[in-house]
A and B are shown apart, each in its own frame.
Chain A
Amino acid sequence: MLLYFIKRLFLFIPTLFIITLFVFALLQFSGGDPALNALERSYQESYDISNDAKKIRAYRKSNNLDLPTFYFSVQRLSSCDTLYRFPFAAERSRAEALAYATGDWSLIARLDDEIKKRLNREQSDTKASHLLMEILTAKSITQIKASFAQLSLTERNDGLDELVNELNCNHWRIKNYIPTIRFHGISNQYHLWLTEILNGNFGNSYIDRLPVSIKIKEALPITLIISLCALLIALCIAIPLGIYAAYYQNGWLDKICSQLFFTFYALPTFWVATLLVVFFGAGDFLEWFPVYGIGNPPEEANLLEKFKIYSAHLALPIFCYLYGGLAYLFRHIRRSTLEELKQDYITSAMAKGLSIHAILWRHSFKKSSFPLITILGSALPALISGSFVIEYIFSIDGMGLLMLEAFFSRDYPMILSLLLLGAVLTLFGMWLADLLYSFADPRVEIDDSKKYHKG
């Protein structure tokens, strides 16, 4: 059986590999420009438009963004094969649009070369150079032709007019519809990223250049404290209530708890959190709790004071965290206890004259708690990823907020690492749950078809 678990551990590798591919593809199709984002962020510090291009080039170079994405790419035959080298999104979209419109990128490349040569010869700020620049930024054939017509009014254009006339010749543009595979070798973004990851280097965040691992290390404890507290409290509430509700089935405790937790389950977390903030925090009503961050106690404060500050800050988030899970845990425990109570061994324990509390806790709960292992195992990624909404509303710098920020600002290294972390934790949680389950309940057998058989 141990062999089975080791085998499953090895099965993680292909799964994770596929997940990295998937995530990488998702980022590629997403659009958006991390270099531009980073530049906009640096504008807030110092506004200097003159070396934009230089900055963007340097940024793309240092983050490997000027490399092809994958080992190969499938493109139109007409398209530009070195699109990734253009530093600006506008240049890339122009190259794509023109290549599609003419059906042949090489034509555009030749035209651009010719124009650049001419531009070097021209003095700057003349009308001709202005028109040439217009052609270099034009996004359609008609625009190029219009600028060229104006240009040819003023001077002779030896090589250029042939090229411009050629633009419209290709009416069928058949090359647009023929796919080609272009190989890029191992010098690509995916390969470099993967080797870095395998070396234990998760890269630097695009936002503040800090290593991703350090940022995660800072955010992790905060989220863990909140989620573990919430989990513990939820278990402490749900287990006794579930057990006694099952014993006194259809009694007042059962009815009240079932109804209450069922109602809780339908309450949207972000609504409850906002209401708590409005009514107990920052609103005009009761200002009982601070609603910002997790508190920042002074260094010299003793343990009690620190605890006071932290608990005041964390009370509301923890409540929001736990109330939704309560219903789930309660129902689960209630159902499994109900099932256990029908068993023969409970009847015999009752016949023996054991007190009902002893039966419930020592006999029935012991067995009905096994499925909890599976639940806790599947909760592992949620424990660590935290809840976006809660951390967003209460401005807690945990993992959830870290993820949201990363997604909002297209912080690729961060998104990739976090998604990978989530996937690893999920797989590991499921694996661990199965392992613990099979230790806790040896009756569970795992046969070759990887399905559980209780017997």
Chain B
Amino acid sequence: MSLKNIYRQKRFGILVISIWILVAILAPILAYSPNESNYFLPPLVPYGEHTIDYKNAQSVSPFETQNVNSFYSRHWLGTDELGRDVLAQLIHGSNTALLVGFCSILIASFIGIFLGLIAAFFGDHQWEITRRKMLSSLLSVILLFTFLLSIVPWTIEGVNTSEKTFLTIVFFIFTLLFFYILNFLMKKYSSRLLQQKILIPLDSILSRLIESIEALPLLLLLIAFSSLISPSILSLILMISLVAWSGIAKFTRAEVLRLKSSNYIDNAKSLGYGDFRTMIKHILPNALPTLSVSIAFAISSAIMLESTLSFLGLGLQASDASWGALMASARNDYSSWWLAVFPGIAIFLVVYSCNSIADFISKDDHSGYSKRT
């Protein structure tokens, strides 16, 4: 199964996604008001996301006669209540969707793949560390959290960001130093008890963690987060990645458990390869095709979540164009159907394409990839 194969079978999905990515990247050039900014090319849509066309306020339908000068400056998909062009908002909203969908899942898959990999690979009976290291790392983590949560002045008014950043970095370095010094001192002076090795049931711990995150309803968790934290794209990305990693980790764990019992891993072990080399070079590349399924599904669900949150008014600030927020404006005025229809089509197409590609890979997986191993 190669990219070429996917392209042949799922031409529509690939086409939609590449158009979406292209539009999202080129959004500032595609839709801007010539009065506000100027690029070397005339825009496709002569309205920005915030440009208010006073002559066409109060939700003008795309089929109505519009109060515009020329064919070029017509509102092809209508306007919203304030007179903002729907198409321009759609174009800029694709930017938000791309950013949230890809960045959050990028972070989530880093966390998820890493944790799933080590949980499955080391299992419950392989990870041994000395009591001394355990103790010093626990103390350092506690120290770091104490510093980050209660010493760094996050909530205090009138403290500038550079001071907060500086303090955070200083505390990180300080904790690292603390860890090494503590470890060193214990190594030199401590009793036998601390030098003993103990088993860490890594798999059990991580599985419990994954289970407990899966246990809480996702949307409930996100709504709880977003009603508590001031909304911005960054916080939205962090929130979604914090809840989305568990699914990817679960998937990774199952896949790595399956691969771990194959012959070539045994061979790698008997050749004396290190754990991390085996994990990164031998297991991960073979697990990736299957993982890409869960990642693609995760991207589509992240986009869905972002638009749902924005629809409920919890996602982003009003200044960020978003497909969900655009649809929320249809709720104020049910007769302007174009506000509901077009953003929905955009969301549907993107989500459908991601899903269909993921579905295709998952079906193809058994024929294509198991042969290579």
Contacts and interface: CB of A to CB of B under 8 A. Distances in A.
Interface stretch (B268-276, B278-286, B337-345): B337-345
Contacts of A266: 300, 348, 351-352, 355
Interface stretch (A186-194, A243-251, A277-285, A340-348): A277-285
A235 interface: no
A179 B151 contact: yes
A275 B215 contact: no
Interface string B152-165: 01011111000000
Contacts of B227: 30, 407-408, 410
A177 B163 CA distance: 13
Interface string A111-134: 000000000000000000000000
B308 A268 contact: yes
Given A75-B150, A179-B151, A274-B331, A388 B156 contact: no
Interface stretch (B74-82, B112-120, B218-226): B218-226
Interface string B209-240: 00010011101100111011100000000000
Given A404-B312, A415-B224, A275 B340 contact: yes
A278 B149 contact: no
Contact of B356 (A262, A267, A404): A262
Contact of A275 (B308, B341, B347, B351): B341
B355 A262 contact: yes
Interface in B231-255: none
A275 B157 CA distance: 45
A307 interface: no
B147 interface: yes
A336 B159 CA distance: 59
A134 to B, nearest CB: 17
A381 interface: yes
Nearest to A101: B158
A279 B149 contact: no
A179 B150 contact: yes
Contact of B156 (A18, A96, A267): A96
Nearest to B211: A430
A270 B334 contact: no
A284 B335 contact: yes
Contacts of B359: 262
Contact of B308 (A15, A97, A270, A381): A270
Interface stretch (A146-154, A418-426, A439-447): A418-426
A381 B217 contact: yes
Contact of B311 (A270, A277, A284, A449): A270
Contact of B312 (A15, A262, A265, A388): A388
B330 A274 contact: yes
Contact of A403 (B156, B223, B304, B335): B223
Contact of A426 (B146, B215, B307, B347): B215
Contacts of A97: 156-159
B157 A93 contact: yes
B219 A388 contact: yes
A177 B351 CA distance: 48
B352 A263 contact: yes
A274 B359 CA distance: 28
Given A265-B355, A278-B337, A422 B217 contact: yes
Contacts of B335: 278, 283-284
B327 interface: yes
Contacts of B93: none
Interface string B319-338: 00000100100110011010
A388 B335 CA distance: 23
Contacts of A381: 217
A389 B215 contact: no
Contact of B327 (A15, A27, A270): A270
Interface residues of A, number: 64
A200 to B, nearest CB: 23
Interface in B143-181: 146-147, 149-151, 153, 155-159, 167
B344 A274 contact: yes
Nearest to A415: B224
Contact of B146 (A23, A179, A279): A179
Contacts of A385: 217, 220
Contacts of B212: 15, 18-19
Most buried by B among A30, A382, A407, A423: A407
A308 B356 CA distance: 40
Interface in A80-136: 93, 96-97, 100-101
A351 interface: no
A328 to B, nearest CB: 12
Interface string B75-108: 0000000000000000000000000000000000
Given A74-B149, A268-B344, A393-B331, A100 B216 contact: no
A406 B25 CA distance: 38
Given A267-B348, A275-B344, A284-B335, A100 B220 contact: no
Contact of B228 (A26, A274, A282): A26
Contacts of A27: 228
B215 A427 contact: yes
B209 to A, nearest CB: 11
A172 interface: no
Contact of B220 (A32, A177, A275, A419): A419
A139 interface: yes
Interface in B285-329: 300, 304, 307-308, 311-312, 314, 324, 327
B312 A176 contact: no
Interface string A272-294: 10110111011111000000000
Contact of A30 (B219, B228, B327): B228
A268 B348 contact: yes
A37 interface: no
Contacts of A15: 212
A278 B329 CA distance: 12
A237 to B, nearest CB: 20
A421 to B, nearest CB: 10
A271 B348 contact: yes
A422 B220 contact: yes
A177 B151 contact: yes
Contacts of A274: 327, 330-331, 340, 344
A334 interface: no
Contacts of A281: 334
Contact of A389 (B311, B337, B340, B344): B311
A139 B158 CA distance: 9
B223 A407 contact: yes
Contact of B337 (A177, A272, A279, A426): A279
Given A93-B156, A403-B223, A29 B228 contact: yes
A277 B344 CA distance: 14
Contacts of A26: 224-225, 228
B337 A283 contact: yes
Contacts of A404: 223, 312
Contacts of B167: 177
27 contacts: A19-B212, A23-B224, A32-B228, A93-B157, A97-B156, A97-B158, A101-B158, A179-B146, A262-B352, A262-B359, A268-B307, A268-B308, A268-B344, A270-B327, A274-B327, A274-B330, A274-B340, A275-B344, A278-B337, A283-B334, A284-B335, A388-B219, A389-B311, A404-B312, A408-B227, A422-B217, A449-B124
Which 6 residue pairs spanning A and B have beta carbons closest together?
A30-B228, A271-B344, A266-B352, A407-B227, A282-B334, A426-B215
